[in-house]
């Protein structure tokens, strides 16, 4: 099964469960409907091939990895988010992993794949990327303020204590101006030496902040 941006590689294994397949198709349509918003936040249209989805029969979350030049998401066909109605289903699962896929080309050639998380546990950068998308979805009235705040609370609760401060710092940077996240991505593309050494992370982040403030 294929949509504009996703390709499910093993849907046939679950073809006998018609309800699960129908819920999955609906879910993919929901994610596709906000894909352009992620592109807008990121600052460019998706330029790679399909994001490949490998299903398993669990209710578990999802995971992202890059296999060669391919983006691969593994997720359970019975994941709880797939069972929810739109837009309450815009949490975790494919929503989360799609943000990883967008940012992966930036980190793919870096020695430290987690450098944008500083020395923190968890994923404060990707969570801040998601938070910026939620704000854009609220601006477009796709989600309301109540749901956006609900998602924000969940993001903060899932982060380890040492990552919350960095997450909040990123959100403050990215939301100061509507295009700050896309400008941050442009900055990274034009400054190859930025965010390459963990010991320089704070200096690199401060310089990026100064650039965005111009």
* Per-residue model confidence as pLDDT tens digits over 133-143: 999 999 999 99
Strands 62-67 and 70-76: antiparallel
Residue 104 in domain: no
Q: What pLDDT score does 192 carry? A: 86
Q: What share of the chain is helix, strand, coil (3-state, %, to 5)?
A: 55, 10, 35
Note every long-range contact of 186-195, with CB atoms under 8 Å and residues 24 or more positions apart, other chains counting. 186/43, 187/211, 187/212, 188/106, 189/106, 195/110, 195/115, 195/116
Q: What pLDDT score does 45 carry? A: 97
Residue 53, beta-bridge partner list: 8, 73
The answer to whether the beta carbons of residues 54 and 9 sit under 8 Å apart is yes
51 & 145 share domain: no
Band the pLDDT of 214: cuts 50, 70, 90: confident
Q: What pLDDT score does 100 carry? A: 97
The answer to whether the beta carbons of residues 155 and 12 sit under 8 Å apart is no
Among 68, 98, 128, identify where a domain stops: 98
153 & 205 share domain: yes
At 24-43, the pLDDT tens digits run: 999 999 999 999 999 999 99
Total of domains in the chain: 2
Residue 74 DSSP SS3: strand
**Mean pLDDT, rounded, of the chain:** 95
| Counts for the chain of helices (H) and strands (E), in that order | 7, 4
4 & 57 share domain: yes
Burial 29-61 (b: 16+ CB within 10 A, else e): ebbeebbebbbbbbbeebeeebbbbebeeeeee
Band the pLDDT of 109: cuts 50, 70, 90: confident
Q: Structural domain of residue 196, as residue ranges?
A: 110-214
Give the Cα separation of 181 and 46 in Å (integer).
16
Of 8-22, 49-63, 77-91, 108-122, minimum mean pLDDT range:
108-122
Tell which residue, 61, 60, 3, has the closest CA to residue 30: 3
Tell me how crowded residue 83 is: count the other CB atoms within 10 A of its CB: 14
1 & 91 share domain: yes
Tell me how crowded residue 72 is: count the other CB atoms within 10 A of its CB: 18
164 & 212 share domain: yes
Q: What is the mean pLDDT of residues 81-109?
A: 95
In Å, what is the CA distance from 165 to each residue of 55, 119, 158? 34, 12, 13
Tell which residue, 79, 49, 50, 87, has the closest CA to residue 63: 79
Residue 105 in domain: no
127 & 55 share domain: no
């Amino acid at each position: 099964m294929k949509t504009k941006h996703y390709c499910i590689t093993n849907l046939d294994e679950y073809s006998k469960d018609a309800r699960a397949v129908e819920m999955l198709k609906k879910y993919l349509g929901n994610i596709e409907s906000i894909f352009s918003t992620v592109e807008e936040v990121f600052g460019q249209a998706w330029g790679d091939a399909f994001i490949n989805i490998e299903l398993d029969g669990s209710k578990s979350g999802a995971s992202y990895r890059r296999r060669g030049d391919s983006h691969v998401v593994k997720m359970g066909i019975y994941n709880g988010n797939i069972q929810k109605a739109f837009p309450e289903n815009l949490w975790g699962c494919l929503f989360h992993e799609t943000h990883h896929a967008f940012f992966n080309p930036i980190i793919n050639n870096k020695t430290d794949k987690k450098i944008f998380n500083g020395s923190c546990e968890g994923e404060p950068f990707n969570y801040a990327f998601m938070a910026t998308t939620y704000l854009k979805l609220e601006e477009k009235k796709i989600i309301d303020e109540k749901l956006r705040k609900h998602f924000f609370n969940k993001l903060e609760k899932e982060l380890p204590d040492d990552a919350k401060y960095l997450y909040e710092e990123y959100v403050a940077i990215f939301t100061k101006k509507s295009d700050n996240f896309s400008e941050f991505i442009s900055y990274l593309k034009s400054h190859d030496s930025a965010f390459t050494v963990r010991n320089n992370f704070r200096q690199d982040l401060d310089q990026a902040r100064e650039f965005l403030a111009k």
